[in-house]
Structure 1
Amino acid sequence: MKALVFNGPRDIRYESYADPELATPNSVIMKVSACSICGSDLHMYHGAHIGNTEYGADTPNFCVGHEFIGEVVEAGSDVHLYKPGAKVLAAGGTGCGSCPACLIGQPLKCPQATAFGLSTALQGGQAEYVCVPNADKTLMPTEGLTDEQALLLTDGMATAYFGLTRAEPKPGGTVAIVGLGPIGLIGVELAFALGAAKVFAIDPVAERRNAAEALGAITFAPGPDLVEQIREATGGLGADSVFEASGASGAIAAVLPLVAHGGNASFVGIPEPQDTLPLPLIMFKNVTVRGGICDVPNMWQHLVPMVQQGRVKAEGLFSHDFTLSEGAEAYRIFDAKEDGVVKVKITV
C-alpha cells in the first residue's frame, strides 16, 4: 500500500509500506477514505517530544496519522459490532481491549494504550489501509455525519469538549481560550453552547482571531498587555475558566495569569519537557489545574447529539484539501501556517 511515512524530522514521505494485517482477533482492517493532520503531529514533525518519546533521525520509520475515517474491509473473530462494508471513524488512539481498564471503558489506563501513528507500536491512518485493534470500542459509525464532522470527531472536537469542560465553564461565566487552531475554535463554539456569557479568544494569527470573532468571541493577540486587557474586560477579575488549546510554550505560560481567583485552568496541548507551571501562582490564586489526554470514545455520547442537532457546527475549519500523494506538502503548509491554513483534509 501507499502511506505517509516518518523518515525523520520534517521528512514525511509518500511511499510504499507493508499492508497491515489483523493484529488481534478484536481488530479490523480499514480502507481509509480521508484523514487529517493534528497539531500534536507537529511535535513529531519538528523532531521534538511526545511524552517520553523524542523524534530524531534514528527513530524507526512508521506510518503517521491518528485522524482517519473509512470502511471496514476485514474483521477479526472477536469483533461484534462492525462487519465489512461498515463506514466508520476511529478514535485517535486505543487500548488492547481485553485488560481490566479496557473492559470498564477506560482505555487510557490500559498498559498498552497509545495513539495511532506515533511509533511502530500502532501504525497510523494516513495510509491506504490501517489495522484498528479493540475495534468495537475504538470505532463509531459515520452515518448522519459529513466527512468533515467525522474527521473532527476522531480527535479534535472530542479534545475540545474534554479540555473545555475540565475548565468548568459556567452559564453566565467568562471563558478564555488560548490558541485558535481547530481545537480552540471548536472550543469557542462549545463555550457559548454551554452558556458562557463572554468568550475571550487569544492567538497571534489574525485570520484565526477573525474566525473566532465570527463565532462571537472577543479576540486578543498575545503580548505584554494581555493580562491587563483580560482584567479590564472582566471588571478586574480575570477569566473564570481558561482553556489552553495550543501546546506552544508561550500559550502554556500565558494561562495562569489570566485565571480569576478561584478559577479553573485546563491544558490539552502537548507540552515539551521544559514547559512548567508556577506553583505559587496556583496556590495563592486557588486555581484548579487540570491537564490530560482526551478519552475520545467517551466524548462521543455528548458531542454527536450536539452536532446532529446543529448546536455545534464546526464549519469552515478544513481550509485546504490534498491527496495522500501530496502529504509532504500538506505537512509543510500546516506547519508553516501558510495561506490562512487552519486544518487540512487529505483524501486517500
Structure 2
Amino acid sequence: MTTTTIMRGVAIKGGRRLAIQDYAIPVPGSGQVLLKMQASGLCGSDLRAIYRPEKPKSEGAEGYRGVIAGHEPCGQIVAIGPDVSPEWNVDDRVVVYHIHGCGTCRECRSGRYISCHSELGRQAYGWQRDGGHSDYILASASDLVRLLEPLSYIDGSVIACGLGTAYAATLRAQISGLDTVLITGMGPVGLGAALLAQKEGAVVYGLEVDPSRRQAAEELGINTLDGASPKVKENIKELTGGYGPSVVIDCSGHPSARLTGLEVARDWARIVFVGEGGSVTFDVSPLVIHKSLSIFGSWVCSISQMESLVENLVKWKLFPEKLVTHVFSVGEAEQAYTLFDSGKTGKVIIASEEEEKRWSERKSISTA
C-alpha cells in the first residue's frame, strides 16, 4: 500500500469538458474494500449522458453527481474494511459490478441491481458514487466479481459493463447453435455481442455504416455488411437462405438500423434492443404481429450473470481486450474522451502504468 494520501481522479463537467483533480485516498468502512485501479473503460453512455450534454442531468439512474467518473472498474484489493467476508483478501483481482443496489428489494435479491428502484440505496459507480477513472476506488464487497486467470485487468474492465451488457442480450435472445444472428452496430458492445454469439454456436453477421468499424469487425472474424448499401436487405436475405436472421440484436440505437432489423427478421424471430437513445417507428401489424416477433429490451447483466460470463470467457479462451484499440493513463483522460467521442475507435481504456505497459507490449507482438 502506498504511503501517499492523495490520488488523481477524473470529474466530467459536461459540454465535452473534464477535470483531473486531487482527492484523498478513501479508507474502507464496514463492508467495503479499497482497490488499486488497474483498468477502467470508457462507455458510450458516458458520452451520451454526461460528457456531451452542456448540463448533465442530476436525477434518476443516469443522474451524474459530480463524482469521479468511470463505471467499468477493475483492480486489485489493497485494503479491507471491517465486516467483509473472509473470501476476499488483499491482492485479490476483481471486477466491480457497476451498480450498487439497496440489497433488500426484490430485484436486488435476484442479483439484478441495475433494476433497483430505491432512490437512496441505488448508486452507480461513476454516476452517483466515485468510479474507476482514478488511482484508487472504494467499492462495496457485495459488488465484487472475482477476475479469474488468465484474464487481464483490461479484460475485466471490458466485462464490467460493455461485454456484460452484450452477454445479457445474448442470454435474453436465448442464442444457440440453431440460430443465425444479425448484430446492428459494430461499436464495442456490438462487437462483443457478435463474439459471444459465435461462441454460443450461432452463425453471426454484423451491420455497420462506418467503414473503419466494418474493418475492425472483419479483422475479428465477423462477416459484416455495409448498412448504407441500398441492397443491404436483399444481401441479408441471400445470406440467410431467404429466411432472414432468427435473432436480431440492435446495438446501434439508430432508427434505420432498428427498422432494418425488424424488416429482415424471419417469422418468429427474437429481437433485442440494446443500443441506448434514438427511436424507431414501424407498422406493428405486418412487422411484428403477422411475423410473430418477440421484442425484448436488455440493459445490463445481473451480477450472477457477470460471474458466469467470467467463467465462460476462461472456458472459451475469449479475451475481450481484443476489442480495445487505445489505452491511456488517468492523466491523459481528456485525450481519451476526445478520441472515443470521435466514434472511430474500439474500446478505450484508462489504465495503470503497469497495465498500459503490458497491453502495449502484447499489442506490439500481435501486430508484428
Q: Is the TM value for this pair above 0.5? A: yes
> Which stretch shows the higher mean deviation, 91-100 or 280-289?
91-100
Partner of 2:363: none
Q: 1:16 aligns with which of 9, 12, 22?
A: 22
Are 2:212 and 1:207 aligned? Answer: yes
Identity of aligned residues (%): 30
Q: SS of the residue aligned with 2:88?
A: coil
Change (3 A) 1:127 1:251: farther
> Which stretch shows the higher mean deviation, 225-234 or 327-336?
225-234
Asked if the contact 1:4/1:327 (under 8 Å) is kept, the reply is yes
Asked if the contact 1:188/1:215 (under 8 Å) is kept, the reply is no
Cα distance in 1 for partners of 2:201, 2:58 equals 34
Change (3 A) 1:245 1:345: same
Asked if the contact 2:9/2:135 (under 8 Å) is kept, the reply is yes
Higher relative helix content? 2
1:127 shift after superposition: 1.2
Asked if the contact 1:154/1:296 (under 8 Å) is kept, the reply is no
Partner of 1:41: 46
Partner of 1:149: 155
Partner of 1:221: 226
Change (3 A) 1:55 1:10: farther
1:88-237 alignment runs, 5 A limit: 88-99=94-105, 101-110=107-116, 111=118, 112-118=121-127, 121-133=128-140, 135-196=141-202, 198-223=203-228, 224-237=230-243
Change (3 A) 1:271 1:164: same
Q: Give, as a single letter, the amino acid of the residue that structure 2 aligns with 1:131.
A: L
Partner of 1:322: 328
Are 2:285 and 1:268 aligned? Answer: no
RMSD between aligned alpha carbons? 2.8
Cα distance in 2 for partners of 1:153, 1:54 equals 20
Cα distance in 2 for partners of 1:258, 1:34 equals 39
Asked if the contact 1:142/1:150 (under 8 Å) is kept, the reply is no
Q: SS of the residue aligned with 2:269?
A: strand
Cα distance in 1 for partners of 2:65, 2:316 equals 43
Change (3 A) 1:20 1:246: farther
Change (3 A) 1:32 1:66: same
Asked if the contact 1:320/1:344 (under 8 Å) is kept, the reply is yes
Change (3 A) 1:139 1:218: closer
Aligned length: 337
> Which stretch shows the higher mean deviation, 172-181 or 303-312?
303-312
> Which stretch shows the higher mean deviation, 43-52 or 235-244?
43-52
1:137 shift after superposition: 4.1
> Which stretch shows the higher mean deviation, 317-326 or 107-116?
107-116
Once the two structures are superposed, residues 37-90 of structure 1 have per-residue CA deviations (whole angstroms, 9 ceiling, x without a partner) of 11221112221889975989xx75221111111122333323203233322221
1:285 shift after superposition: 2.0
Q: Give, as a single letter, the amino acid of the residue that structure 2 aligns with 1:115.
A: A
Once the two structures are superposed, residues 137-173 of structure 1 have per-residue CA deviations (whole angstroms, 9 ceiling, x without a partner) of 4332444322222222212222211112322333232
**Unaligned residue ranges in structure 1 (runs of 5+):** none
Asked if the contact 1:97/1:137 (under 8 Å) is kept, the reply is no
